[in-house]
Amino acid sequence: MSDDTASKGAAFDRKMLEALVCPQTRTVLSYNAKRQELVSRAARLAYPIRDGIPILVIDEARVLE
């Protein structure tokens, strides 16, 4: 696998965002590319994206101030 292929595999697929919702509120999520996380404004939580995989577990989310 080339370095280019490996980096593409780790990237988050923005099209997937349309199918994902916050597990707590069932509302839409917004993508924060800089922090690599999905943000639920309704729940005031930010879910991490690790190796291109969204971790939609409430206990893993960062609380927004």
Q: Residue 18: what pLDDT?
A: 80
In degrees to the nearest 10, what's the CA dihedral of 13, 28, 42, 50? -20
Q: Which domain does 32 fall in, by range? A: 3-63
Look up the pTM and report it: 0.78
Total domains, the chain: 1
Give DSSP secondary structure letters for the chain.
--HHHHHHHHS--HHHHTT-B-TTT--B-EEETTTTEEEETTTTEEEEEETTEE---GGGPEEP-
49: nearest Cα among 10, 5, 22: 10
Over its length of 65 residues, how does the chain's per-residue pLDDT go in tens digits? 334 433 444 466 777 778 899 999 999 999 999 999 999 999 999 999 999 899 999 999 999 99
pLDDT at 12: 65
The CATH number of whichever domain residue 44 belongs to comes to 2.20.25.10
